[in-house]
Structure 1
Amino acid sequence: MTSSFFEPSMNVLLFLMVKKFVYLEVLLILAGVKAALRIGAARALSFITIGICAAGIAAHFVVPYFQIYQQPWAGIAQFLIRTWDGMITPLLASFVFLYTMMQKHGRVMVVDGVHIVLILGLLGLWVSTL
C-alpha cells in the first residue's frame, strides 16, 4: 500500500503550474493587446499591468537563472514570489487590469472576457488548494 502523504494532489500541481508558467504570461499578452487598441487611461493602466507582469516573470525566472541572489533587488523578487503563496503579483496585476474595464474607451470585450475567465480559474485553483 502506497502512502499519498508526499504526493501532492492534481489541484496543487495544476495551481502551481498555472501560477508560475501561464497566468502572468497570458495577462502580459492581454495587456499588450489592450494597450495597442486603446488610448488614454486604459492604455496607461495596460502599460502598468505589463510592467507588473514583467516584474513577476523576472522574479520567477531571471534571479534563479543567473543565480544573483546577493543583489539588493533579489529580496524584492523573493517578496513577490513568496507573499500570499506567490499570489500578490498576479492579483495586483489583475486588479490594475480590471480597472481598465471601467475606463472610457477601455472596453475590449473579448480581452476582458478572457481576463475574467483567467482570474476566476486562478482564484478557483487557489481556493481548492487551501
Structure 2
Amino acid sequence: MVDNEKAINELSELLLKTRKEKGYSLQKASIKTGISHSFISQLERGKRPVPIPKILRQFAEGYELDYEYLMFKAGYLDEPRHTSDDEYFMFKDKEGFDSLPEEDKEKILLTLREQADFMISKYKKR
C-alpha cells in the first residue's frame, strides 16, 4: 500500500457515502455485510486501519460494490480496473455488462442517461 492515510480516508468516505445513499443504518449495514456496526462506524470515521481483503469482499457484497474497486480504494491495487468512478456504482454485475455486445451496452447507457435526466429535472422542480 502506497499511502495508508490516503487509502483510509478514501475508503472511509466511499463506504460512508455508499451506506447513506442506500439508506442503510449502521445496524442494517451490519446485517447486509456481516460486519459489526461498531467496526463499520469506526472505519467510516477513519478510526480503523484499512481492512483486510476478506472484509472488503463483505462490504462489496453487502453494499453491491465492485470488489476490485474497493481493493483499489483501500490501496491494495495500484490502478483501478476502469477509469470512471461512476461505473462502479452503476452496475451490480459489471462483468455481465462488460460481456455484452457494444450495441447492447450503448442501449443500456442511453436508457440510464435518459432516466437520470428525467429524475434530475423532476427533483429540481421540487
- Structure 2 length-normalised TM: 0.30
More helix by share: 1
Higher relative contact order at CA 8 Å, sep ≥6: structure 1 or structure 2? 1
